[in-house]
Amino acid sequence: MRARADLDRVEKVLADRSAEAGAAMAEMRQGIDRLTADSNELQRQLEAERQAREARLAEVQGTYDELVDKLEEEIQRGEVKISELKGKLTVNVVDKVLFDSGRSALKPAGIKVLQQIGDVLKSAVDKNIQIEGHTDNVPIRGPLTQTYPTNWELSTARATTVLHFLQDKSAIPGERLSAVGYGEYSPIASNATANGRAQNRRIQIVLTTNKER
């Protein structure tokens, strides 16, 4: 009888352990299923982001190509430069095309160039547009200082003029536009030479995605 009782106890222990092992195995399977589902969702998200990134790059490339086509003559004369880096498109226009020296009113040639630029940029509806005004390091002198005490004011006024043109004449919504004046403090060439100063006097129009604003 004792042997029988011992055998019953052993069978019960084995049955309990088998049930525990079965429950543990079922829980493990559920964990694996959850991990697999999470992995599949992550892969889906990564693929969607990759496709979206490629679409954004293709759009920027299309905008770049259209600008190059419209501004071919200005580019050949060195008046306009267009660059693209990591999805950020920059249009660089030398100031002599847009403005007379020390002025912020657009010249007829500048109006023509900006109209061509605006015609392209208004179709890039998911891009923000920042207009940057830049000058050389030659101080404002004479009566002009009553209007523009320093290059800060001149660069900001020019950037704002371009902003208003793109908004008013090219019908680009104001929420996509911003303007900033850098004065002499963001040069792209040496101010020690006339050629370098000419390069530094410029308007840069920068396209970025909405989230970069």
Query: Does 66 score more than 60 pLDDT?
Result: yes
- Mean of the per-residue pLDDT values of the chain: 85
Task: Tell me what pLDDT residue 92 has.
Answer: 95
* Mean pLDDT of all residues in 13-18: 69
CA distances for 172 relative to 31, 53, 110, 178, angstroms: 52, 24, 18, 11
Domains held by the chain: number: 1
Q: Contact, 55 vs 209, CB < 8 A? A: no
Task: Specify if 202 maps to a domain.
Answer: yes
pLDDT band at 29; cut points 50, 70, 90? confident
pLDDT band at 18; cut points 50, 70, 90? confident
Percent of the chain with pLDDT over 90: 53
Task: Specify if 26 maps to a domain.
Answer: no
Task: Specify if 6 maps to a domain.
Answer: no
Domain that holds residue 183: 55-212
Token pair for residue 77?
């004369």
Of residues 118 and 38, the one with the higher pLDDT is 118
Query: Does 106 score more than 60 pLDDT?
Result: yes
CA distances for 61 relative to 20, 128, 163, angstroms: 61, 16, 23
Query: Does 163 score more than 80 pLDDT?
Result: yes
* DSSP calls for 17-58: HHHHHHHHHHHHHHHHHHHHHHHHHHHHHHHHHHHHHHHHHH
Query: Does 125 score more than 90 pLDDT?
Result: no
pTM above 0.85, yes or no: no
Task: Specify if 3 maps to a domain.
Answer: no
Query: Does 85 score more than 70 pLDDT?
Result: yes
pLDDT band at 59; cut points 50, 70, 90? low
Residues near 17 by Cβ (< 8 Å), separated by ≥ 6? none
Task: Specify if 152 maps to a domain.
Answer: yes
CATH code (residue 130): 3.30.1330.60
Residue 107 DSSP label: P
